[in-house]
A and B are shown apart, each in its own frame.
Chain A
Amino acid sequence: MTVPRFWRKQQSRYNLIGTTCSTCGQYFYPPRNFCPECRRDGKINEHKFKGTGKVVTYSIIRSASDQFSLLTPYVIAIIELDEGCRLTSQVICEIDAVYIGMPVKQTFRRLGTDGGSGAIFYGTKFIPA
Chain B
Amino acid sequence: MVGIISYGAYIPRYRIRVEEIARVWGANGTEISKGLGVYEKSLPDLDEDTATISVEAARAALARRTVDPGEIKAVYVGSESHPYAVKPTAATVGEAIGATPVMTAADYEFACKAGTAAVQTCMGLVKSGMIPYGIAIGADIAQGEPGDALEYTAAAGGAALIIGNRDPIADLNYTCSYTTDTPDFWRREGKPFPRHGGRFTGDPGYFKHVLGSSRMLLSDLGTKPGDYDYAVFHQPNGKFPVRAADILGFSREQIKPGLVVPYLGNTYSGASMVGLCATLDIARPGDRIFMTSYGSGAGGDSFDITVTDVIDSDQFNRDAAPTVADMLKDKKMVDYAVYAKHKGKVVMME
Q: A residues near B, CB below 8 A? A: 10-11, 14-15, 70-71, 92, 107-111, 115-116, 120, 122, 125
Is the CB–CB distance between A120 and B95 below 8 Å? Answer: no
Chain A nearest Cβ from B206, distance in angstroms: 33
| Distance, CA A122 to CA B87, complexed state (A) | 14
Task: Decide if B246 is an interface residue (CB 8 Å cutoff).
Answer: no
Q: Which residues of A contact B98 (CB under 8 A)?
A: 15
Take A108-B59, A122-B51 as given contacts and tell me if A14 and B96 are in contact as well, using a CB distance cutoff of 8 Å.
yes
Cα(A10)–Cα(B98), bound, Å: 12
Asked if A115 and B350 make an inter-chain contact with CB atoms under 8 angstroms apart, the answer reads yes
Cβ A110 vs Cβ B49 within 8 A: yes
> B341's contact among A10, A70, A109, A125, by CB below 8 Å, is which?
A70
In the complex, the answer to whether A10 meets B350 with C-beta atoms within 8 Å is: no
B95: nearest residue on chain A (CB-CB)? A14
Determine the residue in chain B with the shortest Cβ distance to A127.
Answer: B13
Q: Is B83 an interface residue (CB 8 A)?
A: yes
- Are B92 and A122 in contact (CB-based, < 8 A)? yes
Q: Is the CB of B348 within 8 A of A110?
A: no
The residue on A at minimum CB distance from B97 is A15
Per-residue A-contact encoding for B44-80, CB less than 8 Å = 1, 0 else: 0111110110011001000000000000000000000
Beta-carbon contact of B348 and A92 below 8 Å: no
Contact at B96–A110, with CB atoms within 8 Å? Answer: no
Collect the chain B residues with CB atoms within 8 Å of residue A92's CB: 45, 47
In this complex, what residue of B is CB-closest to A107? B56
Count residues of chain B with CB under 8 A from any CB of chain A.
Answer: 19
Within 8 A of A (CB), among B129-182: none
Knowing that A107-B56, A109-B52, A110-B52 touch, tell me 13 more A-B residue pairs with CB under 8 angstroms: A15-B98, A70-B46, A71-B46, A92-B45, A107-B52, A108-B52, A108-B96, A109-B45, A109-B47, A116-B350, A120-B49, A120-B83, A122-B52
Question: Which of A71, A107, A108, A122 gathers the greatest number of chain B CB atoms within 10 Å?
Answer: A108
Residue of chain B at shortest CB distance from A51: B59
Q: How far is the CB of B100 from chain A (nearest CB, A)?
A: 9
Tell me the bound Cα distance from A116 to B83 in angstroms: 11
A14 CA / B95 CA spacing, docked (Å): 8
How far apart are B83's CB and chain A's nearest CB, in angstroms?
Answer: 6
17 pairs of residues in contact across A and B, judged by CB atoms under 8 Å: A10-B95, A11-B95, A14-B95, A70-B348, A71-B46, A71-B47, A107-B52, A108-B59, A109-B48, A109-B52, A110-B48, A110-B49, A110-B52, A115-B350, A120-B51, A122-B55, A125-B47
Chain A residue contacts of B49, Cβ below 8 A: 110, 120
List B contacts of A115 (CB < 8 A): 350
